[in-house]
Each structure stands twice: as structure tokens, then as C-alpha cells.
Amino acid sequence: MLYTYQTARLTLKNLNEDAAGLTTEFYVRNRDYFAPWEMSHPEAYFTSAYQRRVLEAEAVQFLRSEGARYYMFLPEREVPIGSLSFQHITPAPDASCQIGYRLDHEFTGCGYMTEALLAMIPKAFFHYHLHRMEANIQPENTASLKMMERLGFTFEGTARGRYLIGGTYRDHLRYSLLADDANFTSIYQ
């Protein structure tokens, strides 16, 4: 995968540790908005020092083809408006990964995440020789569930007690997309 991609409205960048100030600002700005959907973070998570270490670790994962996170930028903004990631990338015979994404609360409903995922999903399938992608979404996250369906993902079932969110193991709905899905090839062309 490349370090930077361009879509019609976005620049998608794989950042290094020098961008810790930008990512810290993004997470602090959206802390309360992300909280219902994410695992609890220690207070240090919202510091530049912690984000520097995260970016360093993600750089190693990127070079090893184990994971890739891209931050989304608008031309007129220096701070990212979102991120998307391909995590737990495993080679054949599994040939799969999990996707994750976050979008700044001020930029929801504008189609930015759909645009970014439409651009990046085919690249990840090709570059990492993937057969399958998975997304796990809380049932209450209706916007995310609708986006998965728009992107051609198939609902597979409920992963009971999948992730610890806010001190409680929460059920998540599992969606998948296969490289040879007919809906994949028609949507992503």
C-alpha cells in the first residue's frame, strides 16, 4: 500500500509519529462522540506522547503488512476529519482483515467515510491478497450499519459479548465482504 491516496474530496494519509499532535487533537476533539462506540481508553491516550507511540507501532504494522491506518484530510484542514483502518491482516489461508473507522462528529452525513472506504477497500483486497474483510458494529449504530449495506457487506450474525465498551461486553453485528462477491465487483468499479 502507498502512504498517500487521493479521492475526489479527500487526501488519505498513513501518518508517522511526527503527526502525533494532529491525531491527538482529532481524538480529544471527538472523545465524547467516540466513547459509546469504542473500548475505554486510559487518560494518557489523549496525549501527544501516547499518540506518538501508537503511530510508531502502526508504522511497524504497516511495514510488516499486518495493519494499515489512513487519516482523512480535507484540502482546507490540517487536522484529520477521520480515519479508517485495516487491522489484523493475516495471509492465506485465512487471507482476511477487520476494518475500522472513525469520523469527526462535525463531518458525519456528508459521505466522506463512504468515499474513503470505496477507494481503499479494493486497494487493500489487492495489495494484501485478501479473500475476506469483516466489520463488527454495535446494533445501535444505525449509520454504520446502513453504510455497510451500501458498501455491499453481508450481515452474518451477532457476535455476542464481542468487545468491552463502557465497562460492559457488548454484542456486535458481524458483516463481511468477500473479494469474489458479485456485489463487491459491481459497487467498487
Q: What H or E segment, with its residue span, contains residue 160?
A: strand 154-165
The candidate with the shortest Cα–Cα distance to 99, out of 111, 115, 87, is 87
Would you say the C-alpha torsion 126, 128, 130, 136 has a positive or negative sign? negative
Q: Torsion angle, CA of 25/30/36/41, rounded to 10 degrees?
A: 10
Domain coordinates of the chain in residue numbers?
Answer: 4-187
Alpha carbon distance 149, 63 (integer Å):
31
In which order are the strands placed within the sheet that holds 154-165? 4-6, 11-13, 68-73, 82-90, 96-103, 132-137, 168-178, 154-165
Q: ∠ CA 62-70-129 to the nearest 5 degrees?
A: 55
Q: Where are the alpha helices (DSSP H) in the chain?
A: 20-29, 31-34, 48-63, 112-127, 142-150, 182-187
Predicted model pTM? 0.93
Question: What number of residues does the chain have?
Answer: 189
Q: CA 167 from chain center: how many Å?
A: 22
Instruction: Give Cα separations from 2 to 5, 124, 154, 168, 179 (angstroms).
Output: 7, 10, 28, 37, 20
Alpha-carbon span 152 to 156, nearest angstrom? 13
Residues 6+ apart with CB under 8 A from 36: 138, 140, 165, 166
Can you give the pLDDT at residue 166? 85
Closest CA to 97 of 117, 125, 69: 125
What's domain 4-187's architecture? 3-Layer(aba) Sandwich (3.40)
- The CA-based angle 171-150-113, given to 5 degrees, is 80
Per-residue pLDDT in tens (0 to 9) along the chain, 189 residues: 999 999 999 999 999 999 999 999 999 999 999 988 888 888 999 999 999 999 999 999 999 999 999 999 999 999 999 999 999 999 999 999 999 999 999 999 999 999 999 999 999 999 999 999 999 999 999 999 999 999 999 999 999 999 988 889 999 999 999 999 866 666 766
